[in-house]
Amino acid sequence: MRKPAASRIVDHPFVARLNHSIALDDDDLAALARLLERTVVIKKAKDIIVEGYEYGVLHVVQQGFAVRYKLLHSGKRQIVNVVMPGDIIGFPACFYEHAVFSVTALSDMSLSHVPLDAFADTCLERATVATALVWFAAREAAIYAEHIIDAGRREPIERLAHFLLETLTRLQAIGNASEESFVMPLSQEAIGDALGLSAPHVNRMLAELKRDGMIAMTGREVRILDRAALQILGEFHSTYLARSPVHRPKR
């Protein structure tokens, strides 16, 4: 374990996200530096949270990717979200008696280890941080809502188009994608688990998008060739991912 220098706390992707939503002052940054000072490294494919177990610790992602999922009795896995740098692992696990989802690392990860009590104390002491976290929670809820619509109403090709643009937009927000290209953090099998499709079905849908000139792929690198057409197909509007600035609470 190591402790990042407090002066570099503004570079932490979680702090950068909060700071983009609401201006954090020096006291806010100092409080977050203390909160995020303990760092742990998680290896690829390691379980971070296992459904049914008790947890009292949050992990804030500095680097790496994970998936939040539910494993059904049939052995099928439903991925409910992709966890990226700046996200929090432990929502909602720490707020229930037992975790209701599992989280597994897709890559080696660097995480800030945050006891739930310390997290709650920081929110009580720093109103600005708590206010920014309300936006953070609202964004998470909006992402889940879109995924429900995917599963319930969109056709497979539409789900995939929406998923590709959502992934691009989220990666752009943390500086991990260019204007029109990104490296897909999920395998085709995992994409299928996120969209309720088989890996061969995902492969066919990707081939169709390539054939129609909407995307190009080299390995896991995805390049968007016709963004307008892909947006129309997936009914994708990035407003649910946008950061709306909020005013600092009055002291």
Distance CA 80, CA 68 (A): 6
Q: What is the largest CA-CA distance in the chain?
A: 57
pLDDT attached to residue 6: 47
Residue 95, pLDDT > 90, answer no
pLDDT tens readout for residues 153-187: 999 999 999 999 999 999 998 889 999 999 999 99
Q: Which two tokens stand for residue 70?
A: 């539910």
CA pair distance 50, 180, nearest whole angstrom: 35
Whether residue 135 has pLDDT greater than 60: yes
Least confident span in 7-16, 139-148, 167-176, 206-215: 7-16
Residue 215 has pLDDT above 80, yes or no: yes
Helices marked H in the chain — which ranges? 13-21, 26-35, 116-125, 127-153, 156-173, 188-195, 199-211, 227-234
Backbone phi, psi, residue 124, to 5°: -70, -35
31: pLDDT strictly greater than 90:
yes
Asked if pLDDT for residue 62 goes beyond 90, the answer is yes
Record the pTM: 0.90
Instruction: Say if residue 92 is preceded by a cis peptide, omega within 30 of 0.
Output: yes
The residue with tokens 């929502």 is 91
For residue 69, is pLDDT > 90? Answer: yes
Structure tokens at 58: 């949050």
Lowest mean per-residue pLDDT among 61-65, 150-154, 241-245 = 241-245
DSSP secondary structure letter of residue 247: P
Averaged confidence pLDDT in the chain: 90
DSSP letter, residue 97: S
- CA 103, CA 22: separation in Å to the nearest integer? 29
Q: Given the structure tokens 């104390």, which residue do they identify?
A: 121
- DSSP run (H or E) holding 53: none
